[in-house]
A and B are shown apart, each in its own frame.
Chain A
């Protein structure tokens, strides 16, 4: 069973690697993807049968411990129960359909290899999330899903609109990662190494909960943030329709079927935590309800078919949130299967809508559904003709603006950060160098300071870290400045933790071992940007390096991943320990700061990557 489980997990990775190495032409890629998909399908089938024949147990499997030091350990934990089984089943069906569909659909498309690579990476991340046994492993898979989603939205990289929408989706993802980052830290903190999903239920079965109300509330809210972002729930509904930029099947598998339901999965997994108090359930219920209201109203005025399906999907996920708040787990699982298949199918056949509406229905039907007649009958005659009009308009404007959610989140989350960042960037360059020098001085002073006092040094350092992140976030002109600011911010993060926990160097090494090479490589590439005719007239043109210098673009991509602590470098574990240590000395605020700073860094670097690598090469003849 364990072998099968590992096979389910790693076959997509194998497919990914196979296509990377051998995928020279379409035929080979098609064959490789055919075999790995069906091998994965077979192992999922066998795993599920085997699991069923054992009487549907909740099966936990610890493969090995990647890293262990002191009280901290990072084990590779997997867990299979009815929730993961249901999700695995859906992955099997939908992934096989999509791979078969794409064999022909993407035939002769320029990005054939890129597409298959990305959906295999997605399948790998997805299986990792589904089979994860602890929040750390889940987080790793979560990040992989996020990045592959980002890449598929920007699949048509020569056009600016997909690239912008990719950044939009990624920003929401990244923002909601705060939830998971801090959530994983809190689970370490609260449950002391017993943060296995398998233990959660047991923990809460005791008379007294493992943590007090406020801690549980905080943790639940963090989980909700993570889940709402991924599942496009209130207040993040707006990104999902705009993510429909890749080839239709990729939209179907991500935003119709699987990725959009990962938030629900996270909630199912962590149900014991947030369902302990009824207040948190009420929060969840309200999120679901608000989503259902806003999304179903927004759906009414979507004049394009994919947007309509997207909002229909969001509405159903909203229902799932409501069902979850009542603890109807099994219903949610059925609902998930139904919604995933239906939306996937709807998106796959969405181009048929024209012929369907015109040839089958034989007639089009655009009667306004806000039906005056019925409403009028119930209203007093004096206001029959005046009130409905303004209400109708109001409702329509509300639907047209999709509940103002995008404007709202821009105003609340985005603009203030931009504003502060811009102020920081206006400061003299000298002040920035002085800050850097100051932190270094703190290191030297720390040698002569008492151990108990050193932790206070963390406060200015953390401030500097946030400032560096914000500076990167709102820098528009210089790529190198963004890159360095992010690196400096990471360095400040590491130092601030060190000030709190000066005895231990090893995790810092681990963290910096990921960050520093990425930074250096990226720095080199940015320094040697191919001389593209970036005239003064178009300072904001996308540089299209993926088109002109594909190898460099890949290297820059990898260093981008390294700098945002993606789970391919040791920095990922380093980041985790960093947060773990930061909080272990009653300095919870520091973890929050670090998490926020990482999130902002991620968005800043992603935007830099897009501006350098995406876009159409500037091919213009000056007359």
Chain B
């Protein structure tokens, strides 16, 4: 049955394969291998549209929900989390002249169980559905195991015992090799059509298949996109590896085109096997009017008005909680005494409560916040690491490589026998040895299992805890020669480069005078057991790694006399009595480790001891505050017991929630600590230090926004979309996950790679967009916005994050819209709730708590 392509060609331009693949790839998720989980906007593909429109377009493509259900919002309203004022505000924002405000308002409270349903979409109801509904063949279910097994084995990073890919072999030639040069056929490529197809280039093969399968040029691109979206996880992974081959430790050569060609050939082969040569193709089937088409995905969309209003109202209510507290708190007074200790934390929302408790424990401690790579971007290769990893936000491309080495050359003696035995269950064995081991030591695992399950806190499963990472090493920070390494990286920094980095960081957070005798750089990481998503728990500003190397580098550089000399010349005088040390906060176990013993030995005992005491105290309280979210945790005032609990939680092999990460992240406050010192923010705020008085041209602010918007905004939107539709944007429940090729997780053995966050991480999240509050005048902010990257401006103008300012002089609030600033005024009688101290506020509550003003701090 030949197809006559001439007929439908007249209107649309001829089909260009490369162009079409570029278009399709745009819709794929960009989530890298699971070892470095980087948060990003799940819907980056529609970021150039305004938020609500973008979400609706995405729904049309992926078939996902766009909002919570009307009932969810109504419940929030009944619980008082959505205020009347916010509903009014949201209705005003919607600015819909066709519907009266009162009518609109009434429509919000109608019981409606369907409005949140996803629309018919390309991914779920497109032209590929015809295979199942008309030809009665479940092509997707037949294809998935074949494709995933080939892709999984080709890309595998170390689970498979036999490696499929040979050096410098592309996916296409690999499939060719397997199907042509083997005594037994590779199903289903033993079909004649597929055999011939494999001899051609991928381009030719794709065109051949499309002609056979679709037969109508204007539907080619849609068919390709639908095919890719039947398994967005794998398609996205292939695309990511194609563009950034270095994302893999074992490099692989693959492109989306090759994967598509292989898959299309297999499809044709399967159809031919079932129906013979003359199966009916899509053009011959004809289609109904309701069929979603790629060409009108941007126009034929549906934004449910009542849900949009509900969502905006919810967000504005939650945002107002902070704004109200900022507006009504006593005017923040700068600290009078110079602090005796300063601590620089990561911007991370999990450090928000720790900083509160730390300052509470000792009034002479001043804390700062900055992105957790502390302005020093480099590739880091640890003492026993096989490969270097980037220690900076994913948008930066570091040029320097830092290596770690042991201080004294003490050989690490491992007891080989016990080491071998304890890892037996994970090592490959020969057939005979496997049999022998199972016979002899298998039963020992019963004991190990009993121990792990009934006594989780003792550590038999020896995953190195972060706190145990040996610190008897040093970083080679100083560059000794200018010869780049093979990959073109520079080994270490020069003093000038160091001074540049330190200066920039200190100026960003506004710490250029009043240095305390002890300054602690606190990085953070998280240890968890039996958790493939561990990288999502570490520092987002370090691309999913613990930030310890950055903190150590910062402390070393800032302590170095040569660096200080250069800094002094640039008017930042660090007194000789000031010491920097590095520490690592383990956010799941709430433990702290002080790094680099030689540095610590040099520090005067008194401030160090004070800090350590205050920190220990703060960590216990922090653990207690975290426990309020864990249903099975002890809900007591006994901080020690709470701390025990979080430690056990992180060490248990059966605990899917070692911590709740960024759950409920909502605010980002860029300003002086004085602004937030007396606020109870319920671990929901990213806090970045910034001194509005030192930034005359907005350059510092532009720098801060350059890190804050993609990092915090990315985290926020990933949580938001994973929460709104966990089945499509998220990774579903963790429990059946299976690790595939060290690349990602999938459900079962033959599932698609799951992108986004598992349900255990987002189940208590309130999905609202991030509100960035900046302590600065709108005029200066306009200057800063004029010089930031247009790609970042898109986040703000299309409202993927919200922005507000707090004027440092007039204390007035203004809310950003693409059209201009909206002055915010709260009625006189409204006041933020007040609490005596943190424990009083959290007592007995296990949902999110509105921002409180803490009286004891005021």
Contacts and interface: CB of A to CB of B under 8 A. Distances in A.
Interface of A: 93-94, 96-97, 100-109, 155-156, 158-162, 164-165, 241-242, 244-249, 251, 292, 296, 299-308, 310, 312, 315-316, 319, 331, 334-335, 337-342, 344-346, 348-360, 362-370, 389-391, 393-394, 396-401, 404, 407, 476, 536-540, 616, 619-623
Given A303-B741, A308-B159, A341-B445, A540 B125 contact: no
Nearest to A339: B438
B384 A362 contact: yes
Closest 7 CB pairs of A and B: A338-B442, A363-B386, A247-B735, A341-B446, A364-B158, A393-B182, A303-B152
B104 interface: no
Given A242-B748, A344-B449, A407-B187, A304 B741 contact: yes
B652 A104 contact: yes
A390 B181 contact: yes
Given A101-B654, A303-B740, A621-B119, 5 more contacts: A244-B738, A299-B161, A335-B438, A352-B463, A364-B250
B473 interface: no
B386 A338 contact: no
A100 B132 contact: no
Contacts of B760: 108
A40 to B, nearest CB: 16
A367 B162 CA distance: 8
Interface stretch (B89-97, B322-330, B526-534, B811-819): B526-534
B762 to A, nearest CB: 12
Nearest to B179: A397
B463 A300 contact: no
Given A242-B748, A339-B442, A352 B178 contact: no
Contacts of A251: 736
A620 B118 contact: yes
17 contacts: A101-B453, A104-B654, A108-B760, A109-B735, A162-B747, A165-B748, A251-B736, A296-B434, A301-B160, A304-B159, A339-B438, A359-B464, A368-B162, A401-B184, A407-B187, A621-B115, A621-B120
Contacts of A247: 735-736
Nearest to B456: A104
B136 interface: yes
Q: Find the residue from B138, B163, B442, B632 having the highest chain A CB count within 10 A.
A: B442
Contacts of A367: 163
A619 B431 contact: no
Interface string B115-156: 101111000110001001100101001001000011011011
B177 interface: yes
A304 B443 CA distance: 25
Given A342-B445, A394-B184, A540-B138, A316 B178 contact: no
Contacts of A301: 153, 160-162, 164
A369 B738 contact: no
B186 interface: yes
B655 interface: yes
B161 A369 contact: yes
Nearest to B383: A362
Contact of A342 (B155, B428, B442, B655): B442
Contact of B117 (A245, A397, A619): A619
A620 B739 contact: no
A105 B654 contact: yes
B149 to A, nearest CB: 6
Nearest to A307: B749
Contacts of B751: 161
Contacts of B441: 338, 342
Given A162-B748, A334-B443, A351 B250 contact: no
A246 to B, nearest CB: 6
A393 B133 contact: no
Contact of B747 (A106, A159, A249): A159
Interface of A is mostly: helix
A93 B450 contact: yes
Contacts of A346: 425-426
A236 to B, nearest CB: 16
Contact of A164 (B141, B162, B439): B141
B733 interface: yes
Contacts of A341: 442-446, 449
B440 interface: yes
Interface string B417-461: 000000101101001001100111111111011101110000001
A113 to B, nearest CB: 15
Given A351-B737, A623-B300, A316 B129 contact: no
A353 B384 contact: no
A365 B149 CA distance: 20
A326 to B, nearest CB: 14
Contacts of A156: 732-733, 736, 747
Contacts, number: 320
A242 B136 contact: no
Nearest to A103: B654
B187 A304 contact: no
A343 to B, nearest CB: 8
A373 B443 CA distance: 37
Q: Find the residue from A331, A390, A407 having the highest chain B CB count within 10 A.
A: A390
Given A245-B748, A407-B187, A621-B119, A537 B159 contact: no
B132 A304 contact: no
B385 interface: yes
B117 A304 contact: no
Interface string B723-745: 00001000011111111111001
A346 B10 CA distance: 61
B570 interface: no
B794 interface: no
B462 interface: yes
A299 B430 CA distance: 11
A97 B449 contact: yes
Contacts of B386: 362-364
A371 B456 CA distance: 41
B439 A335 contact: yes
B426 A356 contact: yes
B431 A292 contact: yes
Contact of B742 (A335, A354, A370): A354
B750 interface: yes
Nearest to A537: B133
A608 B443 CA distance: 42
B448 to A, nearest CB: 6
A400 B749 contact: no
Given A338-B438, A537-B129, A397 B184 contact: yes
B163 to A, nearest CB: 5
Q: Find the residue from A357, A366, A538 having the highest chain B CB count within 10 A.
A: A366
A485 B267 CA distance: 34
Nearest to A362: B384
A101 B63 CA distance: 35
Contacts of A359: 463-464
B184 A358 contact: no
Contacts of B462: 360
A248 B736 contact: yes
Interface in B21-40: 34-35
Q: Find the residue from A104, A155, A367 having the highest chain B CB count within 10 A.
A: A104
Contacts of A540: 132-133, 136, 138
B302 interface: yes
Contact of B435 (A108, A246, A319, A340): A319
A310 B149 CA distance: 16
Contact of B735 (A105, A363, A399, A407): A105
Contacts of B745: 351
A96 B446 CA distance: 11
A198 B503 CA distance: 86
B791 interface: no
B483 interface: no
Interface in B488-502: none
A396 B183 contact: no
A248 B120 CA distance: 33
A339 B187 CA distance: 33
